[in-house]
Amino acid sequence: MSVPILLYHHIDEAPKRGTPARSIWVKPARFAGQMKVLKALGFQGLSLRQAIPYIKGEKKGKIAVITFDDGAMSVYQQAMPVLDRLGFTATCFFVAGYIGGGNDWDRPPRKTARLMGAAEMRDWAARGHEAGGHTLTHPHLPALPPVEAQKEIIDSKQRLEEIFGFPLLSFAYPYGEENPLMRNFVREAGYNYAVTTTRGQAGVTDDILALPRHSIRRNDSLMQFLLKCLFRKKG
């Protein structure tokens, strides 16, 4: 069975024209519409952790995995109430060194968005949603000296687990950038699953430490959104 894993970042009004990466802001009403259509079509929205048996082919069902990278406050404020109303769960990947801060790790910086603090993160998990790791400082992992990349993966897991009080199972590579060494570091750190930004549906033949995702963009029409959910497309 092939399973769509959807990737979102910010669920908020878009920043002004010309802002880098403006396409990763999806309007709240549009996000809510997308989730409602999934529900109407009989999809169950699931966190990555809960979807693994479907991806491995051990369970059958019409599911879509919903993931958010970076831990934006807008995910807590705008996306979570929609998910909770529909009975969907999702995974949010947090940057351990920027908790309660802004997403200003890029050079030059993108538009800064507020990120969840520890209280919102714990509430996210308490409502049945999954928390995953997304490194300490959101670096380009394969470009770092290996020992530093490994530290980013291990230290962030420990720091996040101190906040949540339970082990994290899922990881997202910043910018989707990874290689076999990074997959090893992620596995050795104790993560069971990891996601990239390679396009396509996830299935039994995929490496569980490099699962593909469909990035949902600001301007995606409902038809484009549904095509990403319904059809296997690689590349």
For Zn ion, the closer CB: 63 or 216: 216
For Zn ion, the closer CB: 174 or 200: 174
Minimum distance from CB of 222 to Zn ion (Å)?
25
Minimum distance from CB of 99 to Zn ion (Å)?
14
Minimum distance from CB of 211 to Zn ion (Å)?
16
For Zn ion, the closer CB: 70 or 206: 70
Cα 227 from chain centre:
19
Q: Which of 26, 100, 50 is nearest to 70 (CA)?
A: 100
Spatial contact of 115 and 102, defined as CB atoms under 8 Å apart: yes
Spatial contact of 116 and 71, defined as CB atoms under 8 Å apart: yes
Minimum distance from CB of 59 to Zn ion (Å)?
29
Instruction: Tell me the pairing of strands 214-215 and 5-8.
Output: parallel
For Zn ion, the closer CB: 49 or 138: 138
For Zn ion, the closer CB: 69 or 130: 69
| Interior/surface letters 183-192, b for 16+ CB within 10 angstroms, e for the rest | bebbbebbbb
Burial of 63 (0-12, 13-18, 19+ CB in 10 A): buried
Minimum distance from CB of 72 to Zn ion (Å)?
10
Applying CB under 5 A, which residues contact Zn ion? Answer: 69-70, 174
Spatial contact of 193 and 175, defined as CB atoms under 8 Å apart: no
